[in-house]
Structure 1
Amino acid sequence: MKHKIKIATTSLAGCFGCHMSFLDMDECLAGLLEQIEFDRSPFTDIKKCGSCDIGLIEGGVCTTENVHVLREFRANCTTLVAVGACAINGGVPAMRNYFDLQECLQEVYLNGVGVTNPQIPDDIELPLLLDKVYPISEVVHIDYFLPGCPPSADAFLQLLESLLAGQKPIIQKSQLHYD
């Protein structure tokens, strides 16, 4: 029996659109399952990343929990891929970087329209917010970048087929889109 490549995926600060696009590979995904197996991923509900060949990370870094998960992936994945605009440059979540964090929290939780219980959440269960949203490459070393918002299913397939063949992935411009 041929060794299957272990893949882990996670989403940090983003919309989960990259994972949805990944699933859009449809029948091709079924074919890939002959060569790959999933470790930590929303597809498996495994919470901790084991030793993996490839890690796919979508979303920017905006909490201390995001930093922890990202560093865990870097430590456990031989190849780490930043997937989508949020992972690569912070995407839409990084729009808050233009404002002071404390001012944002006050506007949303204290002064926002329809606020009925004005208080900034401080539950110990909530991850601490960072001063800004960071691209994941500012926290850990990234091996490859898969741009798009979200990347197309074809771009995911092209990336994975290249990596599974031991080749450096080259994504054609025609595969990239920003919807």
Structure 2
Amino acid sequence: MSNDPTSTGHKITVATTWLDGCSGCHMSFLDMDERLIALADQIDIVYSPLVDTKELPEQVDVGILEGSISSDDDLEKAKEFRQHCKLLISLGDCAVNGNVPSMRNHFKLADVMDRAYRENVTLQPQIPVHGVPNLLGTVKPIHGVVAVDLFVPGCPPHADAIWYVLSELIEGRTPDPSQVTRFGA
């Protein structure tokens, strides 16, 4: 693996975030249970919805993105992660292929917005304009907008698959996620 984040002899820095999805991949990460304690000796989670850090560091060894690219905010985060992360992992089926969020791609965005915010609302039907990100015309998987180094499918990937991938990276090996997970698993 080029730019091997484990070759420096320090704890591997890891950043994670979720884009358009259900956050189930992060829940699987937490499902590693006591293995998280072992990971804490080998990685530093420097940015994540799971920690208090609010700013992505300038240089991160491993970036993990969950969810698809559905809004301007998702697009900005994906580009930021690609710029700051030596290795970028697309985690889960939404990140790998668009999955459920991309189901709206078969419809016009205006029709989707009308259905969600006008047709199915009884009190104050209106399309939100403040405090919500601008939706893109189509939903894309992560690799549809930035280069991805490793794809880990699953909906969500099991904790064992995430453990395997991180353990292999820590050991300086290139993981083969197809050995431990698949789409929809």
TM-score category (smaller protein): over 0.9
Deviation of 1:166 (Å): 1.4
Superposed CA deviations along residues 50-99 of structure 1, whole A, max 9, x for unmatched, are 12100011000111011111111111100000000000111111111111
Distance 1:177 1:95 in 2: 16
Residue number in structure 2 paired with 1:37: 44
Q: Report percent identity of matched pairs.
A: 43
Return structure 1 stretches of 4+ with deviation > 6 angstroms. Answer: none
Letter in 2 for 1:5: I
Q: Partner residue of 1:143?
A: 149
Q: CA offsets per residue over residues 120-162 of structure 1, 9 Å max, x none?
A: 1111x32111001110101100000001000011100110111
Tell me which of 97, 104, 119 is aligned to 1:111: 119
User: Which residue in the other structure is 2:31 paired with?
Assistant: 24
Q: How many residues align?
A: 176
- Corresponding residue for residue 153 of structure 1: 159
Residue 73 (str. 1) matches residue 81 (str. 2):
yes
State the shift of 1:177 in Å: 6.4
Distance in 2, matches of 1:92 and 1:158, equals: 25
CA shift in 2, pair 1:135/1:42, >3 Å: same
Secondary structure in structure 2 of the residue aligned to 1:159: helix
Q: TM-score, normalised by structure 2?
A: 0.90
Name 1:127's counterpart in structure 2. Answer: 133
Counterpart contact for 2:47–2:55, Cα < 8 Å: yes
Task: Provide the alpha-carbon RMSD of the alignment.
Answer: 1.4
| Ranges in structure 2 where 5+ consecutive residues have no aligned partner | 1-8
Q: In structure 2, what residue type is equivalent to 1:122? A: V
Q: Give the corresponding residue for 2:5.
A: none
Q: 1:174 to 1:43 in 2, by over 3 A?
A: closer
In structure 1, what is the Cα distance between the partners aligned to 2:17 and 2:67?
9
Stretch of structure 1 that moved more, 75-84 or 125-134: 125-134
Q: Indicate if the aligned counterparts of 1:109 and 1:115 stay in contact, CA closer than 8 A.
A: no
Q: Distance in 2 between matches of 1:172 and 1:88?
A: 13
Query: 1:175: how far off?
Result: 3.9
* TM superposition shift of 1:174: 4.7
> How many Å apart are 1:101 and its aligned residue?
0.3
1:14 aligns with 2:6: no
Secondary structure in 2 matching 1:39? strand
Given that 1:79 and 1:143 are in contact with CA atoms closer than 8 Å, whether structure 2 keeps it comes out as yes
Shift of 1:3: 1.6
The one-letter code of the counterpart of 2:153 is P
